[in-house]
């Protein structure tokens, strides 16, 4: 490990800190040498200028709730802890816009904008939210929750971002207005990039007014049947805010929960119309699995040390969702694995696969096969043990990989930020 003294001197000036890393700072099993906690974008820039000049590898960390998503980095010299950048920069309530630093917990942001009757519709898994998941973490992992069906994913809500590149360049794109087509939309490029293009230090998001009324319609039945009825709701004129499916491990039945949001009592009428399509019952509260990652019941929190649960993100066309559910059941029978599947009938779901590395690899392959081509659906592994990663192709086929490599090479030519964490070894 090279000279950290200069880093420390630089950071001290604006209140940041550097310390030696401990075992708890390892990133998915890859040990780190030091942890820097700057408190400003300039501090982040100073850190990266210094570490990159020394040829070191830096990995950003927010609350660390999804630090073991994506491939483990090839090497980690420095952890850049973003939680010192935790200011809510601006809440333009009349403009339905919020600007926040990357280290601000999403829950804190939510609390602030809630006071004005507004919300950032990212619907993080409750376990991540409770553990302090940050704005930068939610953006960098491309978080996806139930209401993206109607409001879009986080990439559709982000209006602008400021990133610090590996060489310390501080660059902004977009802005803080809802409508803006000036320049490249680099905020989208940074979304879901797992910190491999630079370290996001600030982002602006579009907010929505909280809808005062809501109702859930919940129904259960054979997977194929439930999937077909869920698709009927997605294709209706009832404007569901979310249509979520849950298929537990080893189950031939699935549950569907539809969220309706609105004003002035109209929600009740729509809920009744949804019941006509779906069957089931109307309730005021979501089912307990709502927005959570699947398979919590089998993980017992042991995954961090390289346990046996593999988490994946699965995408599909609307009609392909039923195929994915069928493939889950099929994979269980063929390979002796457990496959829990949960997510939006709009075609973005999460899977939890339990089994040996070989069986898990076979099951992931089988889930991929549910779509006739990668353009119709993909399965990417988010979190897995070393053994499972060694047994499978975590990302699957990636369209435009050469362009992605070129972007990485232009923005981080020395591979100094989060090397190896992304598709194709980026």
Partner 1 sequence: MVGNASAALDVVIAELVDALGGERVITDRQRRRTYECDGLAAYRVVPGVVVLAQSADDVAASVRACARHAVPFVARGSGTGLSGGALPHSEGVLVVMSQMRTIREADVENQRAVVDPGVINLQLTAATSPDGYYFAPDPSSQSVCSIGGNVAENSGGAHCLKYGFTTNHVTGVDLVTPAGEQVEIGGKAPDPPGYDLLGALVGSEGTLGIVTAATVRLTRLPQEVRTLLAAFRSMDDAGAATSAIIAAGVIPAAIEMMDALAIEAAEAAVHCNYPAGAGAVLVVELDGPSPDVAGEFDDVVRLCEEAGSFEVRVAADDDERALIWKGRKSAFAAVGRISPDYIVQDGVIPRTALPLVLRQIAALGESAGVRVANVFHAGDGNLHPLVLFDGAVEGAVERAEAVAGGILDLCLEHGGSITGEHGVGADKAKHMPRMFTPDDLETMQAVRCAFDPEGISNPGKVFPTPRLCGEQPGRHRGAHPLAESGVAEVF
Burial of 365 (0-12, 13-18, 19+ CB in 10 A): middle
171 binds partner 1 (CB under 8 A): yes
User: Residue 370: phi, psi to the nearest 5?
Assistant: -65, -30
Residues 109-138 that bind partner 1 (CB under 8 A): 117
Contact flag: residue 376 with partner 1 (CB under 8 A): yes
- C-alpha distance from residue 43 to each of 10, 120, 175 (Å): 8, 27, 22
Q: Which is nearer to partner 1, 144 or 223 (CB)?
A: 144
Residue with tokens 């490990």: 1
The answer to whether 168 contacts partner 1 (rule: CB under 8 A) is yes
155 belongs to the binding site for partner 1 (CB under 8 A) = yes
> Is residue 404 at the binding interface for partner 1, with CB under 8 A as the rule?
yes
> Which residue stretch of 16-24, 174-182, 217-225, 353-361 sits at the interface with partner 1 (rule: CB under 8 A)?
174-182
The 10 Å Cβ neighbour count of residue 285 is: 10
Compare residues 72 and 192 and give the one whose CB is closer to partner 1. Answer: 192
Return the residue of 153, 294, 295, 338 that touches partner 1, per CB under 8 A: 153
Is 67 in a helix, a strand, or coil?
A: coil
d(CA 191, CA 186): 9
What is the full DSSP assignment across 254-282?
EEEEEEEEESTTHHHHHHHHHHHHH-SEE
Q: Of residues 23, 24, 115, 264, which one binds partner 1 by CB under 8 A?
A: 264
**In the complex, least distance from residue 30 CB atom to partner 1, rounded to whole angstroms:** 22
Does position 302 interact with partner 1 (CB under 8 A)? The reply is: no
**Please, which of residues 309-348 interact with partner 1 by CB under 8 A?**
313, 315-320, 346-348
Nearest to 84 by CA among 16, 32, 9: 16
Segment near partner 1 (CB under 8 A); pick from 277-285, 289-297, 301-309, 410-418: 410-418
185 part of the interface to partner 1, by CB under 8 A: yes
Sole binder of partner 1 in the list 197, 233, 254, 345 (CB under 8 A): 197
3-state secondary structure of 222: strand
Q: CB 23 → partner 1: shortest distance, Å?
A: 31
Token pair 């995408």: residue: 315
* Contact flag: residue 141 with partner 1 (CB under 8 A): no
- Told to check if 49 binds partner 1 by CB under 8 A, we report yes
Number of H helices, E strands in the chain: 15, 19
Nearer to partner 1, 186 or 249 (CB): 186
Following DSSP, what letter does each residue of 400-426 receive, concatenated?
THHHHHHHHHHH-TT--BSTT-SGGG-
Shortest Cβ 241–partner 1 spacing (Å): 12
Is residue 56 within 8 A of residue 77, CB to CB? The reply is: yes
The answer to whether 328 and 249 are in contact (CB under 8 A) is no
Complex with partner 1: residue 130 or 171, whichever CB lies closer: 171
E strands present in 38-190: 58-61, 78-81, 88-92, 97-101, 118-119, 158-164, 170-174
Pick the closer one to partner 1 by CB: 133 or 173. 173
22 binds partner 1 per the rule CB under 8 A: no
Site for partner 1 in 267-296 (CB under 8 A): 267, 269-270
Binding flag, residue 55, partner 1 (CB under 8 A):
no
Nearer to partner 1 (CB atom), residue 106 or residue 370: 370
């Amino acid at each position: 490990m090279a000279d950290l003294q200069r880093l420390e001197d630089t950071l001290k000036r604006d209140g940041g800190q550097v310390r030696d890393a401990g075992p708890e700072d390892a990133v998915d099993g890859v040990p780190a040498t030091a942890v820097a906690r700057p408190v400003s974008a300039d501090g982040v820039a100073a850190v990266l200028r210094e570490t990159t000049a020394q040829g070191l590898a830096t990995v950003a960390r927010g609350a660390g709730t999804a630090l073991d998503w994506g491939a483990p980095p090839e090497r980690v010299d420095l952890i850049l802890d973003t939680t010192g950048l935790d200011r809510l920069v601006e809440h333009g309530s009349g403009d339905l816009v919020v600007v926040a630093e990357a280290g601000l917990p999403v829950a804190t942001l939510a609390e602030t904008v809630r006071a004005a009757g507004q919300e950032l519709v990212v619907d993080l898994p409750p376990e991540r939210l409770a553990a302090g998941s940050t704005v930068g973490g939610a953006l960098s992992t491309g978080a996806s929750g139930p209401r993206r069906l109607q409001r879009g994913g986080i990439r559709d809500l982000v209006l602008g971002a400021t990133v610090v590149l590996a060489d310390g360049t501080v660059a902004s794109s977009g802005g803080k207005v809802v409508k803006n087509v000036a320049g490249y939309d680099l905020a989208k490029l940074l979304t879901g990039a797992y910190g491999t293009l630079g370290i996001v230090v600030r982002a602006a998001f579009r907010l929505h007014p909280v809808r005062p009324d809501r109702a859930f319609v919940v129904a259960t039945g054979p997977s194929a049947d439930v999937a077909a009825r869920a698709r009927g709701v997605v294709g209706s004129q009832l404007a569901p805010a979310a249509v979520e499916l849950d298929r537990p491990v080893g189950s031939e039945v699935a549950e569907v929960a539809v969220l309706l949001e609105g004003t002035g009592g109209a929600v009740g009428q729509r809920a009744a119309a949804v019941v006509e399509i779906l069957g089931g019952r109307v309730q005021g509260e979501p089912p307990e699995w709502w927005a959570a990652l699947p398979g919590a019941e089998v993980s017992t929190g042991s995954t961090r040390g390289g346990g046996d649960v593999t988490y994946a993100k699965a995408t599909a066309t609307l009609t392909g969702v039923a195929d994915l559910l069928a493939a889950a059941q099929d994979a269980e029978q063929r390979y002796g694995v457990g496959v829990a599947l949960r997510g939006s009938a709009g075609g973005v779901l999460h899977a939890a696969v339990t089994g040996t590395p070989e069986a898990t690899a076979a099951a992931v392959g089988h889930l991929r096969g549910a779509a006739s081509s990668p353009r119709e659906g993909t399965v990417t592994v988010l979190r897995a043990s070393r053994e499972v990663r060694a047994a499978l192709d975590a990302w699957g086929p990636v369209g435009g990989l050469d362009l992605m490599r070129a972007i990485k090479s232009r923005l981080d030519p020395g591979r100094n930020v989060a090397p190896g964490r992304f598709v194709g070894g980026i």
